[in-house]
Amino acid sequence: MGSLALDLLSALDPVTFAQDKLDFEPDPWQANLLRSTSNQVLLNCCRQSGKSTTTAIKALHTATYSPGSLVLLGSPSQRQSSLLFSKVTEFRKRMNNGLKLQEDNRTSFELSNGSRVVCLPGSADTVRGFSAPSLIIEDEAAFVDDGFNIAIRPMLAVSQGRLILMSTPNGRRGHFYEAWENGGDDWDRIEVTAEDCPRITEEHLQKERRTYGEWTFLQEYECKFMDAANQLFRTSDIDRAITDEVKPLFFGSTNVKPLEFEEVS
């Protein structure tokens, strides 16, 4: 295939972009994510499955082929966002005939087509001031402040931008868990357990299971949203115990006589 045809194919197909421009061969689930056109994607993936690497490619593809686009990278801390940002930067440097840089610093770069990639700590106040993002990626989303997620949603509504939340689970709480469990059809969901990752060996998994025990293993490698280890009752049992069919004994406090205590001298 001629180089012009390959360039065109790379623009249209992020998998070709990864293979041809970045010399990166995606796993099957990574190819699915790269090709996903869904506006809201949830990645529930085990540790080291390649979620940051794959979304870094998605970020670079968007910035390269959608001129003037804004890509925001968020995570629980500036340090973690910078790690994702440096993956995008590494891939940018790997590109043959990539676009020239207009501006480059430790937390953002701008390409000659006007696209910007910016990394932020995942707190609500850092997001205000940006507008019309084409893509927002939340890394370690189960650990990111819910306030960050609330702050980005109006921007996405206006720009029709794309949101990718990716994480290993962190208990049955927070916006990542809620979207995964109760977000309905508004989301595309991709689950990647350790078994789906060709680079994680059975031997390593057995060792991890022995070392850290079942609870940690299920959360870190099998994508399970676990109840807190010190929780007395399972959340599912509490949910089952709550019913609308039984009327409460008292409404408000009108019938309830406050308890009286004798003063102890």
Ligand X SMILES: Nc1ncnc2c1ncn2[C@@H]1O[C@H](COP(=O)(O)OP(=O)(O)OP(=O)(O)O)[C@@H](O)[C@H]1O
Residue 90 binding target from Mg ion, ligand X, none, CB below 5 to 8 Å by type? none
Which residue in the set 32, 39, 48, 193 belongs to the binding site for ligand X (CB under 6 A)?
A: 48
Torsion angle defined by CA atoms of residues 226, 231, 234 and 238, in that order, rounded to the nearest 10 degrees: -130
* Of the candidate residues 17, 20, 29, 51, the single one contacting ligand X (CB under 6 A): 51
Strands lying side by side in the sheet with 40-45: 101-104, 108-111, 116-121, 70-75, 135-138, 162-167, 40-45, 188-192
Name which of 10 and 122 has its Cβ closer to Mg ion. 122
Residue 252 C-beta: closest distance to Mg ion, Å: 49
CB of 29 to Mg ion, least distance (A): 15
* 30 near Mg ion (CB under 5 A): no
Which residues, in sequence order, are CB contacts of 130 under 8 Å at separation 6+?
70, 72, 118, 155
Q: Using CB distances below 5 to 8 A depending on partner kind, what does residue 45 bind out of ligand X, Mg ion, none?
A: ligand X
Does residue 27 interact with ligand X by CB under 6 A? yes
Q: Which of 44, 49, 62, 89 binds ligand X (CB under 6 A)?
A: 49
Q: Which of 30, 49, 52, 82 binds Mg ion (CB under 5 A)?
A: 52
Contacts of residue 235, defined as CB under 8 A and 6 or more positions apart, other chains included, come to: 172, 227
Distance CA 154, CA 163 (A): 12
Among 10, 44, 52, 69, the residue binding ligand X under the rule CB under 6 A is: 52
By the rule CB under 6 A, 74 interacts with ligand X = no
Residue 63 vs residues 71, 82, 89, 211: alpha-carbon distances, Å: 7, 17, 12, 42
Interaction residues for ligand X, span 83-122 (CB under 6 A)? none
Which three-class secondary structure state does DSSP give residue 101? strand
With CB under 6 A as the contact rule, which of the stretches 44-52, 71-79, 148-156, 238-246 interacts with ligand X? 44-52
Q: Is 110 helix (H, G, I), strand (E, B) or coil?
A: strand
What span, in angstroms and rounded, lies between the C-alpha atoms of 226 and 170? 7
- Does the protein bind ligand X through residue 193 (CB under 6 A)? no
* Identified binder of ligand X from the candidate list 35, 47, 94, 153, rule CB under 6 A: 47
Per rule CB under 5 A, count of chain residues that contact Mg ion? 1
Q: Using CB distances below 5 to 8 A depending on partner kind, what does residue 207 bind out of Mg ion, ligand X, none?
A: none
- Which residue's CB is nearer to ligand X, number 148 or number 151? 148
Q: Are 149 and 137 in contact (CB under 8 A)?
A: no
Q: Hey, CA dihedral for 235, 240, 241, 242, is it positive or negative?
A: positive
Closer to Mg ion by CB, 20 or 26: give it: 26
Q: Which residues bind Mg ion (CB under 5 A)?
A: 52
Q: Which residues bind ligand X (CB under 6 A)?
A: 25-27, 30, 45, 47-53, 168, 199
